[in-house]
């Protein structure tokens, strides 16, 4: 019962701190809320006859609370210790859709707060339960390590989910790019147009294309902007697409022809990967069949016969 109390306290503290951390990491306004505010601002401007922007909501000014500031300071202090001098966390956060400069510090601050809070709750729980000092140290150390590891696991799942969504929408994006470029649009205009078309069906990929078109409009070189998009997404197929576009621009080849060839080869490679996964299914089914399904079938088939044999042998022995 004491161990169950400790586990409940640790989970409760971790859940509260994780909620605080996710709140700090989450962008201040969702895409749907921004669209509604833009529509409301446009209607208000149309009624007033002027193009004045709608006032910002007051809730936005209240978001930077005390916990968020503490998390940022704690994350900045522990960032060098947790990262070990690498920018892997920054890259993973970018692949998860958090590319703002303060997101890395917020993430590390969330990890430290969850770890320290879980360790404190574990220590308090052991003290309440009257456990010895050795158990208190053991539980606190385990809670501390778990608080540092669990956010990384959650971040990896977010990255994987986002990459799967982008990968599923990538063939449609390439086809739309081919149509736009063959219709006469330049690469910048084609990227912006495809980003608008994919807002509802693939919002993650649409945001990346919108960011790319903004960087290109700001005057950045195509090579740098495309490389940044590939770095943020982190998919091999996107890397191949970006490399093809950079080479086509560098050597002066037709982008429409290059996109058409890439689209055909991309769909062929995608079909081959699906066939490979289907071929591996039979091998993966061997272990469940051998260890779970076959024993149940044998018990169902041989069970009644075994019961009759045992009953007959016992009756013969008593005779």
Task: Compute the Cα dihedral for 129, 130, 135, 138 and give only its sign.
Answer: positive
User: Quick one: how far is CA 242 from the chain centroid?
Assistant: 22
pLDDT in tens, 258-276: 888 888 888 888 888 888 8
Chain position carrying tokens 């509260």: 16
The residue ranges of the chain whose pLDDT is under 70 are: 1-87, 313-319
Q: Give the separation between CA 218 and CA 103, rounded to whole angstroms.
A: 23
Could you state, in order of their start, the residue ranges of all structural domains in the chain?
A: 2-51+62-163, 165-282
- pLDDT for position 70: 66
Residue 166: predicted pLDDT? 93
CB atoms within 10 A of CB 208: 24
Overall residue count recorded for the chain in this entry: 319
pLDDT for res 163: 93
Q: Tell me, what's the pLDDT at 158?
A: 94
Q: Does domain 165-282 have CATH number 2.60.40?
A: no
pLDDT score, position 53:
41
How many whole angstroms separate alpha carbon 93 and alpha carbon 107?
Answer: 9
Tally Cβ neighbours within 10 Å of residue 151.
Answer: 23
């Amino acid at each position: 019962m004491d161990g169950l109390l400790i586990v409940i306290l640790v989970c409760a503290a971790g859940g509260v701190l994780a909620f605080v951390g996710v709140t700090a990491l989450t962008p201040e306004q969702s895409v749907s809320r921004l669209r509604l505010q833009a529509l409301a601002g446009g209607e208000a401007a149309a009624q007033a006859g002027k193009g004045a922007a709608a006032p910002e909501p007051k809730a936005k000014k209240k978001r930077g609370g005390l916990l968020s500031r503490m998390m940022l300071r704690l994350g900045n202090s522990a960032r060098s210790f947790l990262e070990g001098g690498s920018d892997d966390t920054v890259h993973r956060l970018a692949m998860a859709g958090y590319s703002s400069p303060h997101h890395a510090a917020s993430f590390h601050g969330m990890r430290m707060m969850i770890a320290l809070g879980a360790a404190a709750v574990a220590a308090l729980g052991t003290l309440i339960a009257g456990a010895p000092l050795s158990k208190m140290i053991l539980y606190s150390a385990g809670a501390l390590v778990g608080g540092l590891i669990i956010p990384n696991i959650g971040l990896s799942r977010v990255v994987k989910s986002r990459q799967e969504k982008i990968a599923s929408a990538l063939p449609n994006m390439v086809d739309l790019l081919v149509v736009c470029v063959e219709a006469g649009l330049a690469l910048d205009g084609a990227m912006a147009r495809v980003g608008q078309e994919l807002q509802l069906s693939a919002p993650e990929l649409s945001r990346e294309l919108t960011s790319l078109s903004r960087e290109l409009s700001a005057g950045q070189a195509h090579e740098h902007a495309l490389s940044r998009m590939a770095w943020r997404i982190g998919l091999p197929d996107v890397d191949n697409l970006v490399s093809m576009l950079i080479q086509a621009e560098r050597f002066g080849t037709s982008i429409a022809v290059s996109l058409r060839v890439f689209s055909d080869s991309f769909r062929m490679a995608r079909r081959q990967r699906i066939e490979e996964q289907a071929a591996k299914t039979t091998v993966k089914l061997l272990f469940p069949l051998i260890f779970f399904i076959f024993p149940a079938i044998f018990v169902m088939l041989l069970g009644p016969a075994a019961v009759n044999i045992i009953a007959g042998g016992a009756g013969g022995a008593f005779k």
